[in-house]
A and B are shown apart, each in its own frame.
Chain A
Amino acid sequence: GIQVEQSPPDLILQEGANSTLRCNFSDSVNNLQWFHQNPWGQLINLFYIPSGTKQNGRLSATTVATERYSLLYISSSQTTDSGVYFCAVDVGAGSYQLTFGKGTKLSVIP
């Protein structure tokens, strides 16, 4: 099956710093999503982005489908950004199954 690799596995930032999280995938995908899991375990969808660039406030994401990677940018980080960021893909063909990467654990310190 498709492989999804995220880097870095752990990241510690000072509040106000910027960061880039990366997701590499091993095959063509129909759907790519970024999720944030807060420290209490709740997963929230951030972006649906199989290709191109999207922005939502301090967060933006870019997927280069031809090169099989996606980037999540966090600018002016805040302590509430802490948690685990997951990239998830599906290969389409009506499956709707998502394959998740292992995540990047982000800690933003005051």
Chain B
Amino acid sequence: DVKVTQSSRYLVKRTGEKVFLECVQDMDHENMFWYRQDPGLGLRLIYFSYDVKMKEKGDIPEGYSVSREKKERFSLILESASTNQTSMYLCASSFSDSSYETQYFGPGTRLLVL
């Protein structure tokens, strides 16, 4: 079974803190993605990566950065957390060699910024 894990299920941080969200997948997938999910808005893509050390902006990258130093790990960084970044964060991964691939999701991290 494909397994995508995220470092925390719940996280509480203060405004201005630097926040790291970690995602690890065990299926040797090339592609990895970070989404945020807010009520009534569905999932919105923040950043994605096709390969190690490679990153591309998604639809809402402002206020976020990412790091992919190893193939299995993709980190989302909130440089200075703000209350409007309170959200559910979902990581996903997929193979890149076919348009028939699906994305496999982690369990999500619920982040509260006070």
Q: Provide the bound-state CA to CA distance between A30 and B101, in Å.
A: 11
A58-99: which have CB < 8 Å to B?
86, 88, 90, 92, 96-99
State which size class the interface on B falls in: 20 to 34
B99, chain A: closest CB distance, angstroms = 6
Q: Which interface residue of A40, A41, A92 has the most chain B CB atoms within 10 A?
A: A41
Residue-wise interface mask of B (22-44) relative to A, using a CB-CB cutoff of 8 A (1 in contact, 0 not)? 00000000010101000011111
Contact B107 A33 (CB under 8 A): no
Contact B102 A48 (CB under 8 A): yes
Contacting residue for B107 out of A30, A42, A103, CB 8 A: A42
Contact B103 A30 (CB under 8 A): no
What residues of chain A lie closer than 8 Å to B41, measured between beta carbons?
102
Contacting residue for B48 out of A42, A48, A97, A102, CB 8 A: A97
Contact A31 B99 (CB under 8 A): yes
- How many Cβ-Cβ contacts under 8 Å join chain A to chain B? 53
> Nearest CB to that of B94 among chain A residues?
A96
Q: Provide the bound-state CA to CA distance between A45 and B93, in Å.
A: 12
What residues of chain B lie closer than 8 Å to A17, measured between beta carbons?
none
What residues of chain A lie closer than 8 Å to B103, measured between beta carbons?
33, 45, 98
Contacting residue for B45 out of A30, A33, A97, A102, CB 8 A: A97
A-binding residues in B (CB < 8 A): 31, 33, 35, 40-45, 48, 50, 58-59, 88, 90, 92, 94, 96, 99-105, 107-108, 110
26 A–B contacts from the bound complex (CB under 8 Å) = A30-B99, A31-B100, A33-B103, A41-B88, A41-B107, A41-B110, A42-B105, A43-B92, A45-B104, A48-B100, A86-B43, A88-B43, A96-B31, A96-B48, A96-B50, A96-B94, A96-B99, A97-B45, A97-B48, A98-B45, A99-B45, A100-B42, A100-B43, A101-B42, A102-B42, A103-B42
